[in-house]
Structure 1
C-alpha cells in the first residue's frame, strides 16, 4: 500500500482523495468486524481503500468497486493484480448508479466515496440492497468542516450537507458520524439483526 500511496501522490490528480493509512485500517476493521463477504465500493480512486477492505474480507468474499475515470481505474487495476486479493476485487469502469443496477445480490457493506452530488442517489440505490446485518459507510461527511459554514454554497459542500440531512431525517435507518479523517458516517437499517 505504501508504493500505491506514493504513486497516487506523484501521478494522479487530487491526491488528497487518497484514503490513507488511518482510514484504510478503519475500513479493514469495519469489514472484518462485520464479517462482510460482499462489499460494494463507490469510488475506487487508486484502489487503496479496496485493497484495505479486502484484507478484512471473510474467506471467499469479494469486493465490487466502481470508478468512472479510466486512468484511476488503470492504476487501481495494476495494484489489485499485484496483490494477494486479485481474485477478490472486481473493478467496474463506468457510472456507479448503472453498475449498481447491473450487479446481482445484496451487500454486507457499502462504502460511498464517489462524486458528492450523487451521494443521496447512491444511498437510495444501495439501502434496499443491504443484507440483514449490512451497513453503509459514507466518506467525507465532515467535508473539512465546511458543512458547518452556512455561507459555503460550493456544489460539493451543498451536496454533503444535503446528504447529511437526508440520512439524519431518514426514519428507516440509524446512523452515527465519526471524525475519522474527513468524517465517516456509518448507517444501518433499523430492524437489522
Structure 2
C-alpha cells in the first residue's frame, strides 16, 4: 500500500538511487518463483535500508526475517569491512535462493544465516548490535524487541517494517486479527519505552526508526 499519491510516489522513486543489478535479478527471481513476492522490500525501500546502514556504519547487524535475502544484501552495503550480518528465517525452503544471491554478492563472507525460530536463535548470538531490522511475523514484534533491546549498543538503531499494516492500524480492530492487535501494541511500546527514541516514517507500509539511548 502506498500512502502518497501515485505520481508523487513515482517521482520519489525516479529521483532516488537506482537498484543494483544483482538486486534486480533477485527481485525478478523472487516474483517468478516464490509465494507472496510482495513481502520483498523492493527497490525504493531497499535503497532506504542501504542508506541508513551506510550512515550507521555498523559492525554487527541482526535481521529478523530474511525472506529471499533482498533486504539483507541492502543492509550489508553499510557494513564495516570486518562487520557481520546475522539473518534469521524460519522458512528452510528459501535457504537455497538466499545462498545463491549471498554467494554472488561481495558480502558472502560477512553474512551468517540461521534457519529456525528467531525467538530461540537470538539468545544464542553472543554479540551486541549496531543495527537491527525486524521484518518477520507481526505477532511476535513485541517479543523480538524485548529480546534485542539489551543486545543493542548505545546509539544503535532498530528498524521495524510494516508498522502501518496497509492502514489497518487506524481502522476499527477486528478482535480476531492478532497481527494488527500486536502491531498496535508494538507501535505503542516503541512510542513510550524510555530506552528508545522513535520516529515512524510513512514509507511504503510504514518503517519505524528507533534509536537506543
Q: TM-score range by the shorter chain?
A: over 0.9
Instruction: List aligned pairs for 1:25-64, cutoff 5 A.
Output: 25-64=47-86
Normalised to the residue count of structure 2, the TM-score between the two structures is 0.86
Q: What is the alpha-carbon distance in structure 2 between the residues aligned to residue 174 and residue 150 of structure 1? A: 27
Q: What is the alpha-carbon distance in structure 1 between the residues aligned to residue 194 and residue 59 of structure 2? A: 27
Kindly indicate whether the alpha-carbon contact (under 8 Å) linking 1:65 and 1:91 is maintained by their aligned counterparts in 2.
yes
Kindly indicate whether the alpha-carbon contact (under 8 Å) linking 1:42 and 1:113 is maintained by their aligned counterparts in 2.
yes
Partner of residue 184, structure 1: 207
Tell me the CA shift for residue 91 of structure 1.
1.0
Displaced runs of 4 or more, over 3 A:
none
Name stretches of at least 5 consecutive residues in structure 2 with no aligned partner.
Answer: 1-22
The answer to whether the aligner puts 1:131 opposite 2:168 as a matched pair is: no
The answer to whether the aligner puts 1:8 opposite 2:30 as a matched pair is: yes
Q: What is the alpha-carbon distance in structure 2 between the residues aligned to residue 58 and residue 180 of structure 1? A: 26
Aligned length: 190
Tell me the CA shift for residue 112 of structure 1.
0.3
**Cα RMSD between the aligned structures?**
1.1
Name stretches of at least 5 consecutive residues in structure 1 with no aligned partner.
Answer: none
Kindly indicate whether the alpha-carbon contact (under 8 Å) linking 1:32 and 1:58 is maintained by their aligned counterparts in 2.
no
After superposing the two structures, state which structure 1 stretch, 151-160 or 69-78, moved more. Answer: 151-160
Q: What is the alpha-carbon distance in structure 2 between the residues aligned to residue 87 and residue 41 of structure 1? A: 16
Kindly indicate whether the alpha-carbon contact (under 8 Å) linking 2:65 and 2:136 is maintained by their aligned counterparts in 1.
yes
| CA distances 1:60-103 after superposition (whole Å, capped 9, x unpaired) | 11100001001122211111011111001111001111111110
Partner of residue 20, structure 2: none
The answer to whether the aligner puts 1:80 opposite 2:63 as a matched pair is: no
Of 134, 158, 162, the residue aligned with 2:181 is 158
